[in-house]
C-alpha cells in the first residue's frame, strides 16, 4: 500500500498517496487530560501517570501511554488501575484547565474551516474540502493543525485523513500517539479488511461474539458475507450498517457544532457519606463548577437536576424547571439542595452526587427581566469576577466561605 504514517511535527508531509479525495480529518488529542497535567509537572514526563481520584474511587479519566502499557485505560475503575500499575502517579483532575485548552484547540480548528464537529473536549471531525485553495491539500492542513497545537499548548494530537468520518477516526487511532495517517480513497478497502471486526462502529462485545460464532474475525471476513445473511443474523439495521462499513461506505457529513443539551458534574466520594452538611457542600462545589462551565460556553439553563447514588449503587434523579434561565451558581445550588431534601436521603449513605443543568439556550438570547419590586442580587456579577480571578490565578484562587471551611475541616480530620 502507498499510504504512509507520518509521526512528529515538521513541514507539510508527503503522504505517499493521493489525498485529493480525503476532505475529512479526525483530530484526537493524545492522552489529553494527562498531557495537560504534565505541562505543570514536566518531571513526570516518560513515567506512568493516571488522572483520577487519588482515593481510589471513581474511574480513570486519562492515563499516559506509559500507564497504558500496563493495561490502564480511560473509564477503568481507579481501584483496578492502581492494582495494574501501583507505581503510577495519580493526579486529581483539574477540569478548568482542560476546558481552557479545549477551547483554544477548537479555535485552531475553526480557523481552518467552519465545518467542525466536536465529539468530545479532546477530539473533533473537520471537513477541509473548502479550505484547499487557501491552505493546501488535506494532508498539509493536518500537519499544520498538529504543529499549531504543539506550538501553542505544548501537547500532541493524532490526525486521520480520509474520505469518510469512519475511516478518518480509524486512521487517527492507528497512528497514535503523535501521528498523522492519510488513507487515500482508492486504498480504503485495503486499509479496512485486515482490521479486527471489533474496529467497526456498532460492534460491541455481544455483536462480536455473534460474528465470531459465524467465523467472522476480520473486517475482510465480514465483507465477504452476503448482506442478506448479516441482516438475518444481526437484524435489518445492524446487518445493513456493518455491511456498508466493511466496504468503507459512510455517507454521514461533518455537522457543525451543536450546542450542548446539558452541562453537569458529579463526584464519587472517597468513602460513603451520610452527613447532610457534607452533601450540601459538595452540591455547592458542583453547582459552582456547572455554572462556570455554562458561563464559559455562553449558555444559560432552566432545568436543574441532581443525581444521588446510594451505597448499594441504586441511583435516583430529581429535577426542577426554573421560572427563568440562569448561569448563577447560587441559584443552581439552592434548587439542588431543595431537590436533595425532597428526595428524603438526608440520612442515607451516598456514594455519589451530581448536579446538571438542562434545557440550555445561548445566554445572549435571553435577558432576564426582574419582577416588579425585585432587586438584583449581585450574584451574577460576583461569580463573573470569580471567573476572572480563577482564570488568572488558578482554580483555588477564590472559593465560597463554606467550601473553605470544608477544606479546613478535612485537613483537621
Positions marked active-site: 123
Residue 51 grid coordinates: 488522572
The arrangement of strands across the sheet holding 262-273 comes to 262-273, 350-362, 299-310, 315-326
Place of cell 451543536: 258
Instruction: With beta carbons less than 8 A apart as the criterion, state whether 173 and 182 touch.
Output: no
Closest CA to 259 of 210, 227, 300, 218: 300
Closest CA to 145 of 109, 169, 174: 109
Q: How many alpha carbons lie under 13 Å from residue 55 in its C-beta half-sphere?
A: 8
Tell me: is residue 28 an annotated ligand-binding position. yes
Tell me: is residue 122 an annotated ligand-binding position. yes
Q: Determine the longest span between alpha carbons in the chain, in angstroms.
A: 74
Left (φ > 0), alpha (ψ -120 to 50) or beta: where does 137 sit?
beta
- Return d(Cα 231, Cα 40) in angstroms, integer: 52
Q: Residue 248: is the preceding peptide bond cis (ω within 30°)?
A: no
Residues flagged as binding site: 28, 122
Residues flagged as binding site for Mg(2+): 28, 122
Amino acid at each position: 500500500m502507498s499510504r504512509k504514517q507520518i509521526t512528529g511535527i515538521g513541514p507539510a508531509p508527503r503522504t505517499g498517496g493521493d489525498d485529493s479525495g480525503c476532505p475529512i480529518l479526525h483530530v484526537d488529542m493524545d492522552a489529553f487530560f494527562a498531557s495537560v497535567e504534565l505541562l505543570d509537572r514536566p518531571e513526570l514526563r516518560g513515567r506512568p501517570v493516571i488522572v483520577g481520584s487519588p482515593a481510589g474511587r471513581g474511574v480513570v479519566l486519562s492515563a499516559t501511554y506509559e500507564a497504558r502499557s500496563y493495561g490502564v485505560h480511560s473509564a477503568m475503575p481507579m481501584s483496578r488501575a492502581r492494582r495494574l500499575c501501583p507505581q503510577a502517579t495519580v493526579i486529581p483532575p483539574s477540569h478548568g484547565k482542560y476546558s481552557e485548552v479545549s477551547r483554544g484547540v477548537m479555535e485552531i480548528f475553526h480557523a481552518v474551516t467552519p465545518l467542525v464537529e466536536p465529539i468530545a473536549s479532546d477530539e473533533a471531525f473537520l471537513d477541509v474540502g473548502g479550505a484547499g485553495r487557501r491552505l493546501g491539500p488535506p494532508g498539509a492542513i493536518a500537519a499544520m493543525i498538529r504543529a499549531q497545537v504543539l506550538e501553542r499548548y505544548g501537547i500532541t494530537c493524532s490526525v486521520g485523513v480520509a474520505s469518510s468520518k469512519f475511516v478518518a477516526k480509524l486512521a487517527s487511532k492507528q497512528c497514535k500517539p503523535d501521528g498523522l495517517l492519510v488513507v487515500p480513497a482508492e486504498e480504503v478497502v485495503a486499509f479496512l479488511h485486515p482490521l479486527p471486526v471489533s474496529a467497526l462502529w456498532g460492534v460491541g462485545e455481544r455483536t462480536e461474539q455473534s460474528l465470531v460464532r459465524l467465523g467472522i474475525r476480520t473486517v475482510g471476513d465480514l465483507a465477504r458475507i452476503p448482506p442478506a445473511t448479516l441482516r438475518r443474523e444481526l437484524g435489518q439495521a445492524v446487518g445493513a450498517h456493518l455491511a456498508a462499513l466493511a466496504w468503507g461506505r459512510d455517507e454521514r457529513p461533518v455537522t457543525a457544532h451543536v450546542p450542548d443539551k446539558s452541562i453537569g458534574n458529579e463526584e464519587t466520594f472517597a468513602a460513603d457519606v451520610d452527613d447532610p452538611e457534607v452533601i450540601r457542600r459538595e452540591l455547592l462545589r458542583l453547582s459552582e463548577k456547572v455554572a462556570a462551565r455554562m458561563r464559559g460556553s455562553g449558555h444559560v439553563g432552566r432545568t436543574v437536576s441532581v443525581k444521588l447514588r446510594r451505597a448499594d449503587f441504586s441511583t435516583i434523579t430529581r429535577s426542577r424547571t426554573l421560572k427563568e434561565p440562569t448561569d448563577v451558581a447560587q441559584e443552581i445550588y439552592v434548587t439542588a439542595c431543595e431537590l436533595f431534601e425532597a428526595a428524603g436521603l438526608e440520612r442515607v449513605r451516598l456514594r455519589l452526587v451530581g448536579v446538571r443543568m438542562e434545557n440550555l439556550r445561548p445566554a445572549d438570547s435571553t435577558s432576564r427581566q426582574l419582577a416588579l419590586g425585585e432587586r438584583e442580587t449581585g450574584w451574577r456579577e460576583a461569580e463573573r469576577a470569580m471567573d476572572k480571578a480563577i482564570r488568572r490565578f488558578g482554580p483555588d484562587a477564590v472559593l465560597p466561605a463554606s467550601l473553605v471551611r470544608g477544606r479546613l475541616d478535612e485537613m483537621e480530620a
